[in-house]
Structure 1
Amino acid sequence: MTEYEAVFFDIGGVIVSLPSIRQGYVDYLQEFAAERDLDPEPALETWRERLGEHFKSAEGTEYMSAAEGYHKAFQAIVDGDLDREDWEPGFEAATKAAMETEPNVIETIQALDDAGVYLGIVSDIDTREAHRMLDQFGIDDAFDGVTTSEAVGYKKPDRRMFEDALGKANIDPATGLMIGDRYDHDMQGGTEAGLDTVAYNGTAFERAAEVGRNGHRVVGDDAIDYAIEDHRQLLAVIGV
């Protein structure tokens, strides 16, 4: 018998390495700029600025489509209209080639799946992109439920994200665990939804390091229950 019935994962920074995602962006932006005789550095800066403006235009926890933001950003580079076919295939190929997982996460997910633990995704991402990432590493089928901000219409820490995930799992929140890298979105959002939380990477792990730990158990912070440096440590936390 495991200590938890369900584990919910964020994707970026938890399953997939964020630096590898960003490297894919850079690789393709350089290719895109070269094809159009543009200076790659200003092109990349313009792309990032326009994408940032897109996401910042959201009201509260409203979700803005990443795919739509990318399209606006590429149009800003050329200062004109583009069809998605002008950038999307190359963009997806470059990001796929650069993308890497966090160490030992695939083996951990497979071990949890083999043990019969319910596995869910709770991620601020477009639905198609979530499945594309999971499928690339052969773990899409391991997840019993996938909750994305595109599907729900809001991003974490909005309670509706966690309610959707818990509804799919059909469990008592107290028997679920949320593993994430952002303190406000994953740790505080998960805690408010009644889940126990695990800090891995990012601001979540930084906060856990500040307040201290007793083994994997975090002491001194109401929003973080555990912290791990290696995904394999999650098995001990869960009891697998």
Structure 2
Amino acid sequence: MSGDAGEGTTDSTDPEWEAVFWDIGGVILALDSVQGAHAEFVADLCERHGVDATVEEAVDTWRTAVGKYFRERDGTEFRSARDGYHRGVETVVGEEIPREEWQPRFDEIVRSSIDPVPGAVETIERLADRDLHVGVISDVDDAEGREILERFGVRECFDSITTSEAVGRTKPDPAMFEAALETAGVDPERSLMIGDRYEHDVKGAAEAGLHGVAFGADDGSAVSFRIDSPEEVLEIVDGDVPRSPDSGT
């Protein structure tokens, strides 16, 4: 983790932590399992509707349509992933397909295919046993985010769940972090935010006063700590890891 880049001693100025906030995608939810689930759904969609394309071509069409849907949003405004998937289905099939026809199969495949990031579930469970606020700050549809946490058996471990759908904005909009902090009633300077995207999760959190924990995120001055596995969050909370010497927070 990034703290090891320093002198190898704990920074005595680090606060006693009050809260640990988690992103979902890429931090709790393994993104490769999501991609696999979507590919399986698209293959099933092609078979059901007789789409004249290879699975690879159809998956590429799906991803392009969904990606375009999100790029069309205005700044940090929230856009429902479900609406994006609906557009993807329509683009792949070539005609409007009612949600009630495709969504149950989509949900079934996703539920059976997604996996957690190794170590994330165990770490969340251990944090929940401590005197800490454990929360989520994630750019997901509200119901989808809660279903993922329920699927992994950690929904009840979280004291708060802040989603982009509930706030109406996406990270790095400060409204996301402000809403989470207000709900938690904690000091941002005594709060950690674990994320896999530098600009959205780490820098966005730092600009709101939290300490960014980079898990696969790019390097930058906003990184207070860098981890290679979720379990290392426990070491940060215990004060066993020095802050990154390059941190601007």
Matched, 1:159 2:174: yes
Matched, 1:229 2:224: no
* Distance in 1, Cα, partners of 2:101 & 2:56: 20
Find the counterpart in structure 1 of residue 101 from structure 2. 86
Deviations 1:188-207 (A, max 9, x none): 10000000111112xx2x42
Shift of 1:42: 2.6
Find the counterpart in structure 1 of residue 28 from structure 2. 15
Give percent identity, aligned residues only: 39
TM-score, structure 1 as length reference: 0.90
Q: 1:180 aligns with which of 176, 195, 214?
A: 195
Deviations 1:74-126 (A, max 9, x none): 01122222111111111111111111111111111011001121111100110
- Give the partner amino acid of 1:11: I
The SS at the match of 1:8 is strand
* Distance in 2, Cα, partners of 1:77 & 1:112: 43
- Give the partner amino acid of 2:115: E
Shift of 1:36: 1.6
- Give the partner amino acid of 1:36: H
Of the structure 1 ranges 6-15 and 95-104, higher mean CA displacement relative to structure 2 is found in 95-104
Aligned length: 223
- Give the partner amino acid of 1:184: E
Matched, 1:45 2:45: no
* Distance in 1, Cα, partners of 2:93 & 2:126: 47
The SS at the match of 1:225 is strand
Q: CA RMSD in A?
A: 1.3
Find the counterpart in structure 1 of residue 44 from structure 2. 31
TM-score, structure 2 as length reference: 0.87
Find the counterpart in structure 1 of residue 86 from structure 2. 71
Shift of 1:146: 0.7
Deviations 1:21-67 (A, max 9, x none): 11000011111101122222332222111111110110111111100
The SS at the match of 2:223 is coil
Matched, 1:238 2:241: no
Deviations 1:196-232 (A, max 9, x none): 111112xx2x42xxxxxxxxxxxxx430000111111
8 Å contact kept, 2:46–2:93:
no
Relative contact order (C-alpha < 8 Å, sep 6+): which is higher? 2
**Which runs of 5 or more structure 1 residues have no equivalent in the other structure?**
208-220
* Distance in 1, Cα, partners of 2:188 & 2:136: 15
Matched, 1:147 2:162: yes
